[in-house]
Amino acid sequence: MSTRAFTQERGAPSGTSTTTFILAGGCFWCLDAVYRRVRGAVDVVSGYIGGHAPEPRYLEVCSGTTGHAEAVAVTFDPEVVPADVILDIFFATHDPTTPNRQGYDVGTQYRSAMFYLDEPQKSAFHAALERSQERWDAPIVTEIVRAPRFHVAEEEHQDFYGRNPWEGYCRVIINPKLAKARKYYSEWLLD
């Protein structure tokens, strides 16, 4: 499935103008949990992007041998939540200064990356990176690249946090990211 086909298939109800950003910032469970709570996000899908395996699966991607990043495709209504807020939340809820690492998650599958669908997205992504750099002491290493094929992850990875909030990873890793999102973006979060 191409990224464009994915976007059209997973879009908002007809008549609604939506935008989809594909973002990678460590384990996709984290970004999935944050964006599912953003007012105006109409769909969040975890998946794999940017590698060479024709049909990547979770264990294969976790091995670091496919070149894919764990990512989310966030479809949102820009009339409800501005694109800049979606992007600022991305830079606030992961460490964009560490190449191929987010905390204990290490490997290219956990890289910080933004996958643009068109030139306006590319410009918006660069502007967000520049805007966010002032918050970080180290240089941001987030990749900004054209989106290749996005592979939807297995069903058990969709809304992982919502279905498993008691899991250790959720309590120790995701809860602090949600708390940070609430601290800085409470007006945009649903809970």
Nearest to 161 by CA among 10, 28, 26, 12: 28
Q: Number of folded domains in the chain?
A: 1
Q: What is the DSSP letter of 147?
A: -
Active site residue 27: yes
User: Looking at residue 67, what is its pLDDT?
Assistant: 96
User: Looking at residue 104, what is its pLDDT?
Assistant: 85
- The values of phi and psi at residue 76, to 5°, are -140, 160
Helix (H) / strand (E) containing 122: helix 119-133
Domain, as residue range, for 58: 3-188
List the catalytic residue out of 27, 30, 62, 170.
27
User: Looking at residue 78, what is its pLDDT?
Assistant: 96
Can you give the length of the chain in residues? 191
Within 10 A of 151 (CB to CB), how many other CB atoms are there? 21
Nearest to 68 by CA among 109, 27, 114: 109
Per-residue pLDDT of the chain (191 residues; tens, 9 = 90+): 334 334 434 444 445 699 999 999 999 999 999 999 999 999 999 999 999 999 999 999 999 999 999 999 999 999 999 999 999 999 999 999 999 999 888 999 999 999 999 999 999 999 999 999 999 999 999 999 999 999 999 999 999 999 999 999 999 999 999 999 999 999 998 87
> In whole angstroms, what is the distance from residue 185 CA to residue 71 CA?
21
Task: Return the CATH number at 94.
Answer: 3.30.1060.10
> In whole angstroms, what is the distance from residue 112 CA to residue 106 CA?
12
